Amino acid sequence: MDKAETFSGAADGGVRTLLRMEGLLLLVSAVALYARVGSGWELFALLFLVPDLSFAGYLLGLRIGAMAYNTMHSTVGPLTLAAVGLVLDQHLTLALALIWLSHIGFDRAFGYGLKHARGFGFTHLGLIGRTLKES
């Protein structure tokens, strides 16, 4: 049995496909809403990869790295930020939330899921990177 078969923490088959399609829809929806908010594409380009700074958590170990990554790649934070932006009528706050959601959707659409403490390549969407090649 290879690593992919023994890694039980990942979605597979149709469930994985559905989750990746959900990510694509999140990306498209967040970008479309961002276009309507009108905060400028320069801001979008500047901040799109900011959630990936959470990779630095891996310098402190697998568990902390996974927690840092998952915190920045869960929809809980940006959806909360979007709600605050809507309630307080703060367009910049809403724009930041939409950029963050776009990043998450992009990652999920391309198979980069939430991380398990077992290692960076072990995600809820399956194995990625060198972890997959080693199996």
The residue written with tokens 């969407």 in the block is 125
Residues contacting 130, CB < 8 A, separation 6+: 121
5 lies in some domain: no
Residue 36 structure tokens: 């309507």
- For the beta carbon of residue 82, count every other beta carbon within 10 angstroms: 21
7 lies in some domain: no
- Note down the domain range covering 121: 12-37+47-134
23 lies in some domain: yes
Helices (H), the chain: 3-6, 13-37, 41-47, 62-72, 76-87, 91-109, 129-134
pLDDT of residue 4: 47
Highest mean pLDDT among 31-35, 36-40, 108-112: 31-35
74 lies in some domain: yes
Residue 134 structure tokens: 């080693």
CA–CA separation, 100 vs 72, rounded Å? 9
Q: Total domain count for the chain?
A: 1
Please answer whether residues 16 and 10 qualify as being in contact, where contact means their C-beta atoms are separated by less than 8 angstroms. Answer: yes
Q: Give 46-57 pLDDT, tens digit per residue.
A: 999 999 999 999
110 lies in some domain: yes
- Cα 100 → chain centroid: 8
Please answer whether residues 129 and 112 qualify as being in contact, where contact means their C-beta atoms are separated by less than 8 angstroms. Answer: no
1 lies in some domain: no
Q: Does 133 or 31 have the greater pLDDT score?
A: 31
42 lies in some domain: no
25 lies in some domain: yes
